[in-house]
Amino acid sequence: MKKLIIINILVLCFFTNLSWAQDDQFESYDDIVDQLSITKSSGKLNYNNDPFDAILLHAGVGMALSMTSFQFDNHSSTGLFQGVEVNLGIDLFSDNWMAEGSYVNLGRAEIENKESLDYAELNEFNMKLVYRPHINRFLRFRGTTGLAARYLKYYDNAANKVLNFNTPSWAFALGLEAKLTQAFSFTTEIAYRSSMITETIDDNAFGAGLRLDANF
């Protein structure tokens, strides 16, 4: 009888230990799953915090006008140019600051010279720093400063010759940017160009532009 009781006690102890061991195994498995979940979540958090994810590229195309003043030896004149502008920009580690480059083909314009009706062709390259803070959810203010390289070909009919001028200029602009969707916006600007040199007839210019921008 005593032997039977001892055997029963040993069997009970064996199954109790086995149950505890299984519980430990399940707890260890659950701990592993939890650790993997935490690691995965941490990985996603670090990825989303990458500062380069917030940097956008900007590309735009639109219309451009330029009322350009020409300074000759003893008189001045103006010409109205109309053309196409192409822009490409990138955020500078902030939603409010952007570096932007543009090419403007302003075509040909008539110039009323003192002795004849002349023609001029004008192209322009710009490198600009743009500050564009939010006014509200849909509008931004744009303040721009930078440099412009203006390439002028002037057809002097009275002298029967063609003059070429490459003019570095200061470039300034003010405007508004209206958000259409997350990826597209309209931009309108008024601009001013002032020559850095005196060895040119391309003195200064007032301009305006309207374009459609894509942000990606």
pLDDT digits (tens, 9 = 90+) for 83-112: 999 999 999 988 899 999 999 999 999 998
Q: Are strands 97-112 and 117-131 parallel, antiparallel or unpaired?
A: antiparallel
SS3 113: coil
pLDDT tier for residue 10 given thresholds of 50, 70 and 90:
very low
Nearest CA to 145 out of 109, 116, 169 is that of 169
Average model confidence (pLDDT) for the chain?
85
Can you tell me which residue has the tokens 């958090």? 45
Q: Under a CB-based contact definition with an 8 Å cutoff, are residues 71 and 201 in contact? A: yes
Alpha-carbon distances of 213 from 3, 55, 101, 111, rounded to whole Å: 93, 16, 13, 32
Residue 39 has pLDDT above 80, yes or no: no
Give the per-residue pLDDT at 20. Answer: 45
Cα radius of gyration rounded to whole Å, the chain:
35
Higher pLDDT, 138 or 47: 138
Write down the domain spans for the chain.
1-49, 56-215
Give the per-residue pLDDT at 18. Answer: 46
**Candidate from 15-24, 97-106, 150-159, 172-181 with smallest mean pLDDT:** 15-24
Instruction: Read off the tokens for 1.
Output: 């009888």
Average pLDDT over residues 182-207: 97
Which H/E stretch holds residue 66?
Answer: strand 57-71
Residue 22 has pLDDT above 60, yes or no: no
d(CA 154, CA 59): 31
Residue 172 has pLDDT above 70, yes or no: yes
Instruction: Read off the tokens for 26.
Output: 């399940």
Q: What is the CATH number of domain 56-215?
A: 2.40.160.20
